[in-house]
Amino acid sequence: MIARIFALLVLAAAVFPVSAQLPDGEQLPEETQIPDETQLPDGLEIMRQVEEYQRATSDSAFNRMQLSTCRFGISENRITCAERPRVKALESVGKNYGPEGLDSRSVTIVLEPADERGIGLLSYVYDDAARQNESWIYLSALGRVKRIASGNSDEESEAASLFGSEFTTEDMDTGKLEQYEINVLEETVEGGREVWVIELIPNEERARETRYGRIVNYIDKERYVGLRSDMYDHYGNAVKRMLASRVELIDDVWMARSATMMNLVTNRLSNMAILEIYTGIDVEDEVLTQRTLTDAAFRETQLQSIRSQVE
Amino acid sequence: MDNLLLGLSEFFERLPNRVLGARNFVLTGVVVITVLMLYGAITRTELDLSTDAYLDQTDPAIEALDEYRRQFGSDDSVLLIYRALDGDVFSRESLTAVQQLTDDLRNWQDLDPADYPSEISGVAVDFNELNHIRRVQSVANVRFQRNEGDTLLSLRLVPAELPESEEELTLIKTRALARDDLVGMMYSANAEYGMIMIQTDFGMQPVENYTPAVDSPDVALDASFDFSADGFLELDFDEQAEIAEVDFEPVDVFSYTTFHVASTALWEKYDDQLDYYPVGTPPTMGFMQGVLDQLAVLGVLMVLIFVILLWILFRSFSAVLWPIVTIALSVAWTWGVTVWLGITVSTFISLTVLLVFAVGIADCVHVMNAYFSYRREGEEHYRAISRSFGRTGLALLVTTLTTSAGVLALTTSELLPMQVFGFMSAAGVMLAFFFTVILLPILLDIWHPGFPGHEKLSIPDRLARIWNGLRRNRKITLVVIFAVLLYVSFGFALGAYILFISMLTYAVVNWHQQILRVVPYIVARRPWQILTVFAGIFGLCVYGATRVEIDTNISELVKEDHPLRRAYEVVDENMAGSQSMVIVIDTNVDEGMLDPPILQAVDDLQGRILETQSEHLTRTHSLVNVVKDINEVMNDGDPAFYRVPETRQMVSQLLYLFNSANPEDRRALVSDDYSKAQVTLNIRNSSTNEYQGFFDEIGEEIDASFAHLRDDYPDLEVTLTGSMALLWRMSDEISKSQVESFAIALAVISVMLIVTLGSLQGGLIAMIPNLIPAFLGFGLMGLFGIPLDTDTLLIAPVIIGIAVDDTIHFMTHYRVQLIKTGSISESLRLTIRHVGQAVMFTTMVLGLGFMLLSFSDYLGMARMGFFGSLAIIMALACDLFLIPAMIMIFKPTFGVKNADKRISFTESPA
């Protein structure tokens, strides 16, 4: 059990912070080449483009997000929570390191619920495969930091949930596109936007690692944002669906600030809302150390300073 | 009443001529409707072979199971227990084998099917079936946590690369055996046995073509998901929103089997290092498949015995062909009517077929026996048909009504498949009667012995002539050769059985007329002694029946040396036990399970029951174990912290870690709102009766552990449940409903006999010979201490229905003869002569046929075969000896006035 906790924490470090900034020299999505109307474009190219923006993390980012999870139902044709959702509020700060900015450090703090307030996670992710990633967990009730090390980091590739939500680490994964057969199925309209419907089928090697036998993405043709994803299991049953909303232009990149993952088997959904997102902030190296976890006063001062930068 | 019975007899006598007159109409009608029925049976049959088909799907127990699956996932795992052939699961060789096997199971896609057998025991190995595997856990990939300074280490118990030195290997073993949480789960305390747990997704697949409600084009996300710009999100919620529950595809037996076969192919590769004892639903269902295959073979043999016996007894192949046509049509129509009514068929269909088969054979044998004896007496064909129906028609009607009433009594059961079985069987029995009186006359007219051009001797006749021409020592030599051949080809038991049938058949074929002739004289000499003997048998049976225990023990349903039984024993003796139950704690308070006093109470309960129930209970596991475990690990591995923390905040934070890693594991222990949790109990397999005390005592411990929390948690509910509890409830339900329907059936049959036989006295006299076979099986089981399991109990009414038929034929015929002749002696003599032979033949065919089932590996089936055939044979003894004795002693006149009551069997026949 605890082995899986470690696996998660290591992976979680790679996921947070979720932020986006247009990398230098990139063009705006609007100006990317529009495919020939009569011929469907190359799906792999589109997906690469989408991920490019998605991955475009800044050197220095701060965000506040909220994860709400509930059992859902349908009321007057609206998908809605059927019970009071359980809410987790998180704050995270991240910064890239290394000569090419390929390593990263991040710290994530739980704000809510009250019982979990102050739980912190510090992660160092190294691009060099030979160097093991490092994680520290801080439980405020215990008042102690623990370094977490996995004896063999190569294994336990099972997808773990993000903070107990319906999102798994696999859903947040980027890259690995070459391990899929990618087909553009059609061009249609989703949520009032023109989209490409793109199907991803894992190859044999990838199929071993994923719970999904097929993923169908609805990509906004103009903004290169995924508006909807349908996930099917290996038997072809629809098991999960992701719906994006509140697509906004943030620092010149379109992004969905509200993503809702529905588990169609258990009828549970999780909504990940990026309440605040700021990029290009000055983050002191000291913030990305254990001190932020343990020293509440230091943490508050630092976060205050970051907030003052963005206001 | 007398006139009615005579009238009915005359009606049946006239019926064949009318039917023959409408021959083309009847045949065309039968063919057309049969085609329709077969079409329905082929295209519309919905077979529900799932294990929970027993109960109505709206039954609370089933709903709870569905809810459990939605919350906690599939509970169908394979527990692959292995024994290291070198005696040590931690030896280099054993570890290597388990590592490779674990890897094979996890990464089966990489294996080349060409390296494996293409089929195992007749079932094709299909690697795609392994897609059901969700998770594989074994000593090869299990991890343990170690605390070093401020670092938490998660290490493999057995490193992927085994250490070079033997000392290090020994160290691994020592470390492993010191871990209480793994001993009994992953390996036995003596390190001889290990376990690979293969979790599957059986029962978790949505029904085919399931469309989620959210797929509807008008459905969209609620506006609250687009949070307002002020940087705060609160999702709206509506407790009235309609939640679209997924219905899961019922798992059929065959998919378990194909999965089991495919996984067997993988592990058999390492059988020079490991010995396997698989338990869990897929292997058990694999065994059930084996039982079905074996039953198919036994079924074919049974039909073969029916065919050969009918052929030899009647010495004409028409006596074989027409009953089979009649029975086949009855089964086809029954099946057709059922599916056209849109009813789902369960495994009980096989029982219905068995019953229709038995009843159909009895019906046909009675008619044909009458027909053949009239022909032998020199009657002309049409006259013989007519008279044979006149003689048997009334009794056929009464047996049809009583048997239907018996099976219809099952429809009072609360178990849905039992109700379907009751209706189908009643329909089948009535159809068998219908075809016997409507179709059989026409069939006999199409082909019958003595048909012009077929006057030469039949093959059995010719064989008999050759045999009779042999000298005595030749005969003995041939018998010895036959016996040896039987033993060589079938083994001792089956060989002896076939030899026994052969001898009995030989005796009956040669001497049945002599036997029947002397029977009344034997009875007349000592009627009281005979009555006393049967009264003694009856008394014993009733006494035995009061002692019989209704009890089901899963592992004891198979023979002692069977691998499945051995596997259960190994798991129970060496590992944590092959069964499990759950205690559900529902605080009915949001986040109630985060409250330390509640967790402490659960901890106390687990400790208490482990101590007091050590006989059955081997291990408990709950949220509390997880909390204590993480508490210890987070406190530098200090064992003093292996306890429930004092504050709610601490509990919450420790569980935060747990939930983040894998909410599936967390959901298996506690609900999303933390109001409800469960304690899993690992228990040793035992019989349902032995669990009775266990259930009660656990209930008491629950009360003791939670009593002090009642004030703070007034709505707290703590209940013991799980699949074992479900089985227990089902077995209870089956016993109750069977005992009830058994009583109803007896009452209905009694009333019908009283009405048919025209007097209370006659009815009672007829009931006693029926009660002896009915109670015989139960009585013997009680006397020999064989528990009556639910399967045997299910089949009991069927057997009893078959056994009483002959008695009813006997009594009905006797009454009609009494009305006709007015003489008790004459009626008895005629009845034994007319009906005795038919009763003897049906007993031979059915009794010996059913006895074949006692060779089944499945004891539920074997017992019913054995005791069923004993009941049928006992019914014959009652008909030939007890009924005549009672008639001679009590001289019942069945309401016939001025009957001649003199008994004239004082001297032996010449």
Per-residue pLDDT tens for A184-225?
A: 888 888 888 899 999 999 887 777 667 788 999 999 988 888
| pLDDT reading at B776 higher than 80 | yes
Asked if the Cβ–Cβ distance from B216 to A119 is below 8 Å, we say: no
CB B592 within 8 A of CB B696: no
- Residue in chain B closest to A145 (alpha carbons) equals B150
Tell me, yes or no, if B180 comes closer than 8 A to chain A by beta carbon.
Answer: no
**What is the pLDDT at residue B255?**
77
- Measured in whole angstroms, how far is the alpha carbon of residue B565 from the centre of its chain? 17
A165 contacts: CB under 8 Å, gap ≥ 6:
A67, A69, A88, A261, A270, A272, B663
Q: Which residues contact B823 (CB under 8 A, 6 or more apart)?
A: B899, B900, B902
Measured between CB atoms, does B214 come within 8 Å of chain A?
Answer: yes
Using a CB-CB distance cutoff of 8 angstroms, which residues of chain A are in contact with residue B239? Answer: 82-83
Of B167, B216, B198, the C-alpha closest to B81 is: B198
Distance CA B163, CA B893 (A): 94
Does the beta-carbon distance from B214 to A241 stay under 8 Å? yes
Contact A74 B237 (CB under 8 A): no
User: Is the C-alpha dihedral spanning B853, B857, B858, B862 positive or negative?
Assistant: positive
**Looking at beta carbons, which residues of chain A come within 8 Å of B206?**
237, 265
**What are the Cα distances from residue A115, in Å, to A71, A139, A162, B254, B840?**
22, 11, 18, 49, 82
Nearest CB among B226, B242, B633 relative to A258 is that of B226
Question: CA triplet B899, B903, B906: central angle to 5 degrees?
Answer: 165
Q: Is B469 exposed, middle or buried (0-12, 13-18, 19+ CB in 10 A)?
A: exposed
**Interface contact B154-A207, CB threshold 8 A:** no
pLDDT confidence of residue A8 = 39
Judged by a CB distance cut-off of 8 A, whether residue B239 touches chain A is yes
For residue B144, give the H/E element and its range.
Answer: strand B143-148
Whether B663 and A78 lie within 8 Å, measured CB to CB: no
Indicate if the pLDDT at residue B55 is higher than 60: no
User: What residues in chain A have per-residue pLDDT under 70?
Assistant: 1-39, 54-60, 100-102, 127-133, 148-161, 169, 172-176, 208-209, 311
**pLDDT one-digit tens code per residue, B132-186:** 887 788 888 887 767 777 776 667 888 888 888 889 889 989 988 888 778 888 8
Confidence band, pLDDT 50/70/90 cuts, at residue B435: very high
For residue B276, give the amino acid letter: Y
The alpha-carbon gap from A131 to the nearest alpha carbon of chain B, in Å, equals: 17
Residue B528: band (very low, low, confident or very high) from pLDDT cuts 50, 70, 90? very high
Burial of A308 (0-12, 13-18, 19+ CB in 10 A): exposed
Task: Answer whether 0.90 is exceeded by the pTM.
Answer: no
Contacts of A66 in chain B (CB under 8 A): 233
CB B416 within 8 A of CB B446: no
Task: Looking at the complex, report in whole angstroms how far the Cα of residue A190 sits from the nearest Cα belonging to chain B.
Answer: 11
Give the contacts of B490 (CB within 8 A, at least 6 positions apart). Answer: B498
- Least Cα distance to B548 among B787, B315, B712 occurs for B787
- Chain B residues in contact with A160 by the CB 8 A cut-off are 660-662
Which of A202, A268, A238 is CA-nearest to residue B208?
A238
Q: Which two tokens stand for residue B15?
A: 């019926």
User: Which residue, among A67, A71, A91, has the nearest Cα to A80 in the 3D structure?
Assistant: A71
Which chain A residues are within 8 Å of B237, Cβ to Cβ?
Answer: 70, 80-85
In this structure, are residues A174 and A54 in contact, taking their beta carbons and an 8 Å threshold?
Answer: yes
Contact A151, A2 (CB under 8 A): no
AA letter at A38 = T
Q: Lowest mean pLDDT: which of A147-156, B318-327, B748-757?
A: A147-156
Cβ(B23)–Cβ(B322) under 8 Å?
A: no
Q: Are A146 and B242 within 8 A, CB to CB?
A: no
B687 with B551: CB under 8 angstroms? Answer: yes
Residue with tokens 């459905």: B219
- In chain B, % of residues over pLDDT 70: 87
Structure tokens at B704: 């003791």
Contact flag A149-B672 (C-beta cutoff 8 Å): no
For residue B333, the model assigns a pLDDT of 93
Taking only Cα atoms into account, the Rg of chain A, rounded to an integer number of angstroms, comes to 20
Q: Is A6 in the B-facing interface, judged by CB distances under 8 Å?
A: yes
Would you say residue B511 has pLDDT above 60?
A: yes
What are the residues facing B242 on neighbouring strands? A74
Q: Is A157 on the interface with B (CB under 8 A)?
A: no
More confident residue, A197 or B309: A197
CB contact under 8 A, A160 and B156: no
Determine the distance in angstroms separating the CA of B63 from the nearest CA of chain A, rounded to an integer.
15
Number of helical (H) and strand (E) elements in chain A, helices listed first: 6, 14
- pLDDT at position A129, please? 58
Using an 8 Å CB-CB cutoff, list chain A residues near B231: 64, 275-276
**Residue whose entry in the numeric block shows the structure tokens 């069987």:** B425
* pLDDT beyond 50 at B777: yes
Residue B425 φ/ψ, nearest 5 degrees: -70, -40
Q: What backbone torsions phi and psi does residue A86 show, to the nearest 5 degrees?
A: -90, 130
Chain A positions in Cβ-Cβ contact with residue B213 (cut-off 8 Å): 74
Q: Which residues of A touch B653 (CB under 8 A)?
A: 115-116, 119, 139-142
How far is A104 from A125, CA to CA, in rounded Å? 5
Of the candidates B782, B877, B788, the one whose C-alpha atom is nearest the C-alpha of residue B540 is B782
Task: Give the list of residues 6+ apart from residue A197 with CB closer than 8 angstroms, or none.
Answer: A184, A185, A186, A187, A188, A216, A217, A218
DSSP B880: I
Please name the residues between 232 and 271 in chain A that touch chain B, using a CB distance below 8 Å.
Answer: 234-235, 237-238, 241, 243, 245-246, 257-258, 260, 262, 264-268, 271
The CA angle A142-A143-A144, to the nearest 5 degrees, is 95
Nearest CA in chain A to B630: A2
CB B243 to CB A267 under 8 A?
A: yes
Residues 95-134, chain B: which have Cβ within 8 Å of A?
Answer: 107, 109, 131
Question: Is B150 part of the contact surface with chain A (CB cutoff 8 Å)?
Answer: yes
> Mean pLDDT across the stretch B125-130?
85
What SS3 class is residue A80? Answer: strand
Nearest CA of chain A to the CA of B49: how many Å?
A: 22
Q: Do B219 and A260 touch (CB under 8 A)?
A: no
Question: A60 by DSSP, 3-state: which?
Answer: strand
**Nearest CA distance, B633 vs chain A (angstrom):** 9
Q: Chain A interface, mutation test: which of B129, B208, B259, B653, most A Cβ atoms within 10 Å? A: B653
| Residue A201 contacts B, CB cutoff 8 Å | no
CB pairs < 8 Å spanning A and B = 228
Q: Retrieve residue B243's tokens.
A: 């939640």
Report yes or no: B248 and B283 within 8 Å, Cβ to Cβ.
Answer: no
A117: closest CA of chain B, how far (Å): 9
**Residue-wise pLDDT tens digits, B693-744:** 777 788 888 888 988 988 888 888 887 776 666 666 667 777 777 777 778 8
Taking a contact as any Cβ pair under 8 Å apart, which residues of chain B between 589 and 608 contact chain A? 594
Domains present along chain A, CATH in parentheses: 2-307 (2.50.20.10)
Distance CA B581, CA B678 (A): 10
Which letter does DSSP use for residue A84 in this model? P
Report d(CA B802, CA B395) in Å as an integer: 14
Task: Give me the pLDDT at residue A9, please.
Answer: 40
For residue A140, give the DSSP letter: T
Give the strand pairing for A268-279 and B77-84.
unpaired
Cβ proximity of B351 and B794 under 8 Å: yes
CB burial of residue A38 (10 Å; 0-12, 13-18, 19+): exposed
Range with the poorest average pLDDT among A50-54, A135-139, B59-63, B114-118: B59-63
- Residue B432: pLDDT over 90: yes
Which two structure tokens, joined as six digits, stand for B729?
Answer: 């409830």
Contact B152 A149 (CB under 8 A): yes
Q: Distances in Å between the alpha carbon of B157 and those of B140, B169, B635?
A: 8, 11, 21
d(CA B233, CA A68): 9
Residue A178 in contact with partner chain B when CB distance is under 8 A: no
Token duo for residue A295: 């020293």
A7 CB neighbours in chain B (<8 A) are 661
Query: Rounded to 5 degrees, what angle do the CA atoms B257, B262, B263 make?
Result: 100
Taking only Cα atoms into account, the Rg of chain B, rounded to an integer number of angstroms, comes to 34
CB-CB neighbours of B480 under 10 Å = 10
Residue A186: how many CB atoms within 10 A of its CB?
Answer: 10
Do B237 and A246 lie within an 8 Å CB cutoff? no
For the record, the structure tokens of A271 come out as 């909504």
**Probe site for chain A from B247, B623, B657 (most A CB atoms < 10 A):** B657
- Please tell me the distance in Å from A146's CA to the nearest CA on chain B: 5
Strand-pairing partners, residue A100, are: none
For A109-148, letters b (16+ CB in 10 Å) and e give: bbbeeebbbbbbbbbbbbeeeeeebbbbbbbbbbeebbbb
A residues 50-89 lying closer than 8 A (beta carbon) to B: 64, 66, 68-75, 77-86
Across all residues in chain B, what is the average pLDDT? 81
For chain A, say whether B236 makes contact (Cβ under 8 Å). yes
Which burial class, exposed, middle or buried, applies to A30 when counting CB atoms under 10 A from its CB (0-12, 13-18, 19+)?
Answer: exposed
**Cβ atoms of residues B363 and B432 within 8 Å:** yes
Of chain A residues 89-148, which have a CB less than 8 A from chain B? 110, 113, 115-116, 119, 137, 139-142, 144-148
